[in-house]
Amino acid sequence: MENWVWIAVGGFLLADTFAVKWISNWNMGVLMPAILGAPLFFYGLFYQEAELWFQTEAGRIVKGIFVVGYVSFFLFFLFCIFLMERGKTRRMKEPPEAVIVLGGGLRGERPSRLLRKRLDTGKKLAEESRAILVVSGGQGRDEVISEAEAMRRYLEAQGFPRGRILMEDRSRSTYQNFLYSKKLLDAYFDRPYRAAFVTSGFHVYRAGLVARKLNFAIPGVAAPSAWYMALNFYLRETLALLRYFLFGIV
């Protein structure tokens, strides 16, 4: 019976990767369920043979490594989810004068579903606070136009005035999103100003760390994301946070 539990858990994780890859670009968040699930699935499939081998000296070492690895990653994963959820709950003290929307991938020349959610949230916030919008995102290797250009087109099609949109189309990372957007806003206002950034809920915490690294400590606003990809989003962000905590790479 126990072997079917491992087959079910591993199979679910493998199925997640194969299902999500049809609606998302390849990234570590998509691959991680399969990476985690494959050993569990095959352990369940060859349960009796594996248990016999685990009784050998080499088998005990390998089993110990896997157990410690899975438990450690699971606990760190839960810790990161706590940080991500906590990062979504912070509130702005005053309405912003500028709203930065961080890029999030394209499908052809159109913003991805994830990015459209960010844009809708940013547009609503900018309209409520009468702020300008900064659309931040460069052109990826597999993209035919910059994310900023696609974002601007989307906002204009939704009725947001072009005169209140600033484009930052050079960035290739969250760090550069903030670096170039800050330079753009510093030149635009030429005075102290209030700003906020919009990104997906799971990304607010790490994006805030990046902004503070640039002495640009502005509040983040969480945009919704697809519930059925929550596992993938959280796994990808967990790896990014691990890299940040270990190496300081943002």
Tens place of pLDDT per residue across the chain (250 aa): 678 999 999 999 999 999 998 887 788 999 999 999 999 999 999 999 999 999 999 999 999 999 999 999 999 999 999 999 998 877 788 999 999 999 988 988 999 999 999 999 999 999 999 999 999 999 987 788 999 999 999 999 999 999 999 999 999 999 999 999 999 999 999 999 999 999 999 999 999 999 999 999 999 999 999 999 999 999 999 999 999 999 887 7
Q: What type of residue is 15?
A: A
**Contact (Cβ atoms closer than 8 angstroms) between residue 205 and residue 109:** no
Name the token pair of 12: 């679910």
3-state SS class at 241? helix
Distance, CA of 91 to CA of 162 (rounded, Å): 28
Nearest 5°: phi and psi at 190?
55, 35
